[in-house]
Amino acid sequence: MERLTQAQQELYEWLAEYIRTHQHSPSIRQMMQAMNLKSPAPIQSRLEHLRNKGYIEWTEGKARTIRILQALKQGIPVLGTIAAGGLIDPFTDAVEHIDFSNLILPPQTYALRVAGDSMIEDLISDGDLVFLRPVPEPEHLKNGTIVAARVDGYGTTLKRFYRSGDRVTLKPANAKYNPIEVAAMQVEVQGSLVGVWRVICEWGMGTGDWGQGRQGRQGRQGRQGRQGRFYPDAQCPMPNARCPMPDAQCPKCILNFEF
């Protein structure tokens, strides 16, 4: 299915939630208010695109007949893999969704799975999930921010962002790797770091660099970490019903949020 633009996605998600809650579609005026628009033209254009792409349908000539054709997937979308090492191909469509409904995350948060060890000194390891949010104004991005950046002609990588004039440096957090230094026009910042999620699933061992440790199943006490939270079973964001691990290997989740 054809991907949506950010504006189309925002309207689609709002429509899906409104119809789910009220059991009928909203008026054009309500959509304008929700999208903070003063003219109906952008709403009508977005609706046409949503219909043409197969996300919604309505009955011509009748008001409030919009129907959602594609169910809204719940949870944080995992858009693929991000390199913490060299450069890899940019991510595209969601490959899975993870339910973090019990956590407050910024709008449009998405996740990428880390491949590589270039950010280990920032406590981001191979296999971790990093949560990111879009950066609407990259020119105002603070130096030192951890970002997902696409380097023109190469691919996408996770690094600390530094800009000086018309040059950008993407710095790793591992002495084994060299910084990437390119012209600013070659870099597209696709997201800034919100947090990191790591699953410790080796017999419930409660150890972690970020965790405020509690005793895990057959585990040992975790170490105090920076801005981290260690989740006991009762508070785990991945309930057992959706957990891929058997009870004897109950995952422990460590999250480090920066927002």
The tens digit of pLDDT for each residue in 194-234 reads 888 876 643 333 333 333 333 333 333 333 333 333 334 44
What is the average pLDDT score of the chain? 74
Domain boundaries, the chain: 6-68, 76-87+105-193, 201-257
Catalytic residue among 27, 45, 53, 118: 118
Phi-psi region for residue 37, left (φ > 0), alpha (ψ -120 to 50) or beta? beta
Angle at 93 between CA 87 and CA 95, to 5 degrees: 90
With beta carbons less than 8 A apart as the criterion, state whether 228 and 210 touch: yes
Residue 88 has pLDDT above 70, yes or no: no
Class of domain 6-68: mainly alpha
Contacts (Cβ under 8 Å, ≥6 apart) of 240: 233, 247, 250
Task: Count how many Cα atoms sit within 13 Å of the Cα of residue 136 in the half-sphere of its side chain.
Answer: 5
Whether the model clears a pTM of 0.85, i.e. scores above it, the answer is no
Query: CA of 232: how far to CAs of 81, 127, 136, 193, 204, in Å?
Result: 28, 21, 36, 25, 10
Q: Which CATH superfamily is domain 76-87+105-193 in?
A: Umud Fragment, subunit A (2.10.109.10)
pLDDT tens figures, 145-165 = 999 999 987 788 999 999 999
Catalytic residue among 159, 171, 192, 252: 159
Query: CA of 177: how far to CAs of 79, 118, 151, 193, in Å?
Result: 25, 7, 16, 20
Phi-psi region for residue 221, left (φ > 0), alpha (ψ -120 to 50) or beta? beta
Q: pLDDT at position 76, please?
A: 73
Residue 75 has pLDDT above 50, yes or no: yes
50 three-state secondary structure: helix
Neighbours of 200 (CB within 10 A): 20
Q: pLDDT at position 147, please?
A: 94
Is residue 38 part of the annotated active site? The answer reads: no
Residue 139 has pLDDT above 50, yes or no: yes
Rounded Cα distance, 249 and 216, in Å: 11
Is residue 25 part of the annotated active site? The answer reads: no
